[in-house]
Amino acid sequence: PVTAAPLSCRRYVAGGQCKSTAKLEGKVVIITGANTGIGKETARDLAGRGKVILACRNIVKAEAAASEIRAETGNQQVIVKKLDLADTKSIREFAEKFLAEEKELHILINNAGIMLCPHSKTVDGFEMHLGVNHLGHFLLTFLLLERLKQSAPARIVNVSSLAHHGGRIRFHDLNGEKSYNCGLAYCHSKLANVLFTRELARRLQGKSQRICPGLLSFAIGTKVTANALHPGSVHSELVRHSFVMSWLWKIFSFLLKTPREGAQTSIYCAVAEELDSVSGQYFSDCQPAYVSPRGRDDEIAKKLWSVSCELLGIHWD
């Protein structure tokens, strides 16, 4: 048939799909940046399973998204909370209110992100990509980790990107003041997500047992797992800061995943039963994926952890 080739191409672009039907009754999920794109689609799916908190900077858009999801799923436990990852005060206020209101937290999805921003800084003076994509989620996870441990088994899911292959941690110029390229700044921050996941998993695991060399490791310590993922190239608002990329995204939209398709690996990492004890891994299309050599550098991961704590003024053993 004439339509066979386009349909085949479309199926290839769509990539893997989360097949799990796991329910999340009595469980609590936080998703950052859940008012649009893959975050919203992740929230839509998980709202069909349990309680979901949309942690967003734009409350108006978040309330609209939550209202839509409540109407579609019939789940009234879809709640909006203010969170600005570019402001550590906002992050601390969000965590304080959450901990006062919720006694459990089972899944934290660090989804929010920015891309291709002109050089700018967060409220606390961090380069924007590093501050929002890495340091903001680093601090949020730190503040919520004890509640995750108390609620275990629990999961932390960090949305990274294939772009981490182009990143490096420039400790001599983390804020991009000596040289700056918006594309590379994004890559650096996505590499930071992978390294953070790796070091966090190591600290949570204690001892680990590998079932396949270099592939899957089982968490024996806290019963809190941490995994990272690449959602795919998704047709979303992420490229809004670049006129050229926005234009290319429209032209080649048929080669991009829809937000729903892009959310599948986030959903998979959050609920798939076979990942109950898997930690410190990186996924794409709902299966393990290749991590760049820099993303597997344990010494860099440890140094980034230490520097991140220093920048944020926290002590995290």
Report in angstroms the alpha-carbon separations of 248 from 39, 91, 253. 22, 34, 8
| C-beta separation of 162 from 191 below 8 A | no
- Look up the pTM and report it: 0.89
Q: What is the mean pLDDT of residues 244-269?
A: 72
Helix, strand or coil, per DSSP, at residue 60: helix
Q: Would you state the pLDDT for residue 221?
A: 75
Residue 7, pLDDT > 60, answer no
Q: Which of 9-23, 221-235, 274-288 is predicted most confidently?
A: 274-288
Domain at 16-205+221-311: CATH code? 3.40.50.720
Q: What is the mean pLDDT of residues 42-48?
A: 98
Q: Would you state the pLDDT for residue 317?
A: 86
Burial 8-18 (b: 16+ CB within 10 A, else e): eeeeeebbeeb
Burial 184-211 (b: 16+ CB within 10 A, else e): bbbbbbbbbbbbbbbbbbbbbbeebeee
Question: Domain residue spans in the chain?
Answer: 16-205+221-311
Q: Would you state the pLDDT for residue 255?
A: 56
pLDDT digits 0-9 by tens, 108-117: 999 999 998 9
Residue 244, pLDDT > 70, answer no
CA 155, CA 38: separation in Å to the nearest integer?
Answer: 18
Residues 6+ apart with CB under 8 A from 81: 53, 54, 55, 56, 94, 97, 98
Q: Would you state the pLDDT for residue 15?
A: 78
The single residue of 12, 180, 186, 290 carrying the catalytic annotation is 186
Q: Would you state the pLDDT for residue 239?
A: 46
Nearest to 159 by CA among 195, 109, 207, 98: 109
Active site residue 290: no
